[in-house]
Amino acid sequence: MTYEQLASSWPAFSQSIIQFMSQLGLDKLALECDHTALRVNSTHAAQQLQHEFAEHGTIISNNMINGRPILIIELNQPLRLNDMTIDCVELPFPGEKSYPAEGWEHIELVLKSDAQECDTLSQDLLAALPNLKPVLAGETEVKVKMSSPKGDKERLANPTIAFKKGGLCIKVHPHGIKAVIASES
């Protein structure tokens, strides 16, 4: 997996993500897409991408989350997702889990909320988008995972709701990645 391969696969990935957002109705909320994330299965691949991304951006965070390094790279030239710009890429080093495919894995959207945990975030999301009730209730083919990942230095609670279907994932949380990083200092 190289930077060039990622750049050439972005249009297909972004089109699939846009369709998934539309299916969920998230496109109606005009949410900010604060970052997108990659998946790699080897430390060597992660180190190679870290080196290649250094030519296209700046590492603004290198934090331990769930026992593994996760880099946030602010891009010199943002990625486009319809009318949204995405200026950060999350590059997690591999953990114990191996992924069926390396490359683009998910995007993360910011739903402005004061939620400190997933139940409140879920209620806020349902208030904005009531048609998600069957999805959040587990009554559709979309898998839903709620979590509260936290970096070693983070002070800002950022509960997350992940929607997964067909190898795609869209995560919703109340704070953008730059606000989370700012909470570390």
Domain ranges within the chain, ordered by starting residue: 3-182
State mean pLDDT over 74-88: 94
Quick: pLDDT tens for 26-58: 999 989 999 999 999 999 999 999 999 999 999
149 confidence band (pLDDT: 50, 70, 90): low
Is residue 22 predicted with pLDDT exceeding 70? yes
Q: What is the pTM of this model?
A: 0.92
Distance between first and last Cα of the chain:
33
86-101 pLDDT, tens digit each:
999 999 998 887 777 8
In this structure, how many other beta carbons lie within 10 angstroms of the beta carbon of residue 12?
A: 10
25 contacts: CB under 8 Å, gap ≥ 6: 129, 131, 132
Radius of gyration of the chain (CA): 16
pLDDT, mean over the chain: 91
CA distances from 29 to 24, 90, 181 (A): 11, 23, 25
Reported CATH class of domain 3-182: alpha beta
Percent of the chain surpassing pLDDT 90:
74
